[in-house]
Structures are given as structure tokens and as C-alpha cells.
Structure 1
Amino acid sequence: ATNKLLKDKDEIIANFEILETTAFNTDELEDRKINLQAELQVTADSIQDIINENAHKALNQEEYQRKYDSLVEKFDTAKSELETVTEQIKDRITRHKNLEIFLDELHKQEGLISEFDPLLWNSLVDYLTVFEKDKIEVSFKNGIDI
């Protein structure tokens, strides 16, 4: 399976170079993260303000609770979205680094392999799937299955 991959290495490397800037770009996610952090701060400040107001003024408690609950819900939603966006950023960065390592090892490889190399194996192969005795699928770190 690795030798089949090596036969197409120039095409694989070229395709990666074309897609690299768009597939792993985190600019949009980073902008969203900044906006969510700002939204969280504003919402937290609003929650604190309404708590302080309630502590110092006689307010309608039903109205206060409604406003408070609404702000807490808004905060929780933004916090959850921020966690999701942060995880997406980390995931893209990790996948990009892993693919760069994969392509670096692929690029270094001269010719076909004739013996098992554990370093090459660990840098190229993500996992194996055994379907039956004579049917095995190799999943490489670049997403190709052979």
C-alpha cells in the first residue's frame, strides 16, 4: 500500500500545496473567536450590572429574573460556541502539522520501499482496517485509503 502511495507522491505533494492555504486557514475562525470573546465580556458585564442594580434598588423580581436568565442563556450560548470554534482551530492546526510531517516523509522517500521502516510507517500511516484474512485497508494520514 505504501508503494502505491509512493508512486503518486509528486501528485499528492502538488495537490497539498494547492490546497494548503485554504484547507487549513484559521483566519475566519480566529476572527469569530475574537468576536465571541468580546461578546462574552459584554454579556458578563451586563450580568454583573443587573446583579448590582438588583442589590441596590428595589426591582420587580420577576422582571429581574427574566433579564438575568436571558443574559445567562446568551452567555452560555456564546461560551459553547467559543469552545467549539477554539476546538476547530486546534483541529485544523493539528491536522496541518500532521499532514506536513506526512508530506515531508513522503518527499524524503526515494523510490519504493523494500523493507519495513517503523519511522516511515508511523509518519505515513494513520490506521489499518482489517476486513477479513486477506482484505486490509491502509488509511494514510493524508486521507488516502488503499
Structure 2
Amino acid sequence: MVVSDRIQSCIYENAHVALDQEEYQKRYGTLSDRFDKAKARFEEIEEAIGSKQSRRAAIETFLNDLRDANIVDNFEVSLWCGLLDFVTIYSRDNVVFTFRNGTEIRYSG
């Protein structure tokens, strides 16, 4: 049962059955705390998803602009140097390319 359903059930029971109000408040408080924690976590996850979706859209736009420009038929050093900001090499099989627009592409061999 979802926490919000349990809260509704708790409220309904209190309205229709004579309950010890101290016990009711304790039970309601516990459920309310669980709900608040779950809601906060949900909002964190929503924010992370939104951030990742924005980043993905920016990367897709960047890649589409590159493709539409028809300038990447063959490798050109000047184009590469113009787009790339720096490369971080962690190991032979773990390299991160950071472009001037902030986009990062990880190579894992």
C-alpha cells in the first residue's frame, strides 16, 4: 500500500472509529514523515531526470548541427582542435573528451 493511501486510511479510521488520539497522532506523524521523505526523494529524482534530459537535448542539437553542416566527411585537425577543449586520460581504456560547449564524451575501450 502506498504511503498516501495509508494516510487516507488512517484519517478515515480516525473519523469513523473511536481511537486513542495520542496513538492516532503518532501513527499519522510516522506516515506523514515517510510521505515527506518519499516526496523529497521523488522531487530529487525528477530534477535529476530534467537535468539529464536538458543535457541530452543539448548534445543532440550539437550533433545534429555538426551533421547538418556537412563538414565532418573526413577527419580534420583544425576542426578537431576548434571543437575540443581538452582530453582527460584516466587510463588506456578510460578517456574523457571535453568539448568547448561543455559536452563530455567518455571513451571506455
Q: Normalising by structure 2, what TM-score?
A: 0.62
Q: Which runs of 5+ in 2 are unaligned?
A: 84-98
Identity across matched positions, percent: 40
Q: Does residue 103 of structure 1 match 2:63? A: yes
Aligned counterparts of 1:54 and 1:48: Cα–Cα separation in 2: 10
Letter in 2 for 1:50: C
Q: Which has the higher contact order (CA 8 A, sep 6+)?
A: 1
After superposition, the C-alpha distances for 1:62-116 in whole angstroms (9 at most, x for unaligned) are: 1110000000011111111111111111211110110111122234262758xxx
Alignment: residue pair count? 81
Q: 2:104 aligned with 1:140, yes or no? A: no
Aligned counterparts of 1:67 and 1:139: Cα–Cα separation in 2: 54
Q: Name the aligned partner's letter for residue 42 of structure 2.
A: L
Higher strand share: 2
Q: Residues 124-146 of structure 1, C-alpha deviation per residue, up to 9 Å, x if partnerless?
A: 8xxxxxxxxxxxxx9414149xx
- AA matched with 1:78: A
Gaps of 5+ in 1: 1-38, 114-123, 125-137
- Over the aligned positions, Cα root-mean-square deviation in angstroms equals 2.5
Q: Distance in 2 between matches of 1:86 and 1:46?
A: 23
Q: What is the alpha-carbon distance in structure 1 between the residues aligned to residue 65 and residue 12 of structure 2?
A: 60
Higher helix share: 1
Out of 71, 94, 101, the position equivalent to 2:54 is 94
For residues 12 and 103 of structure 2, the distance between their equivalents in structure 1, rounded to whole angstroms, comes to 54
Runs (4+) of structure 1 exceeding 6 A deviation are: none
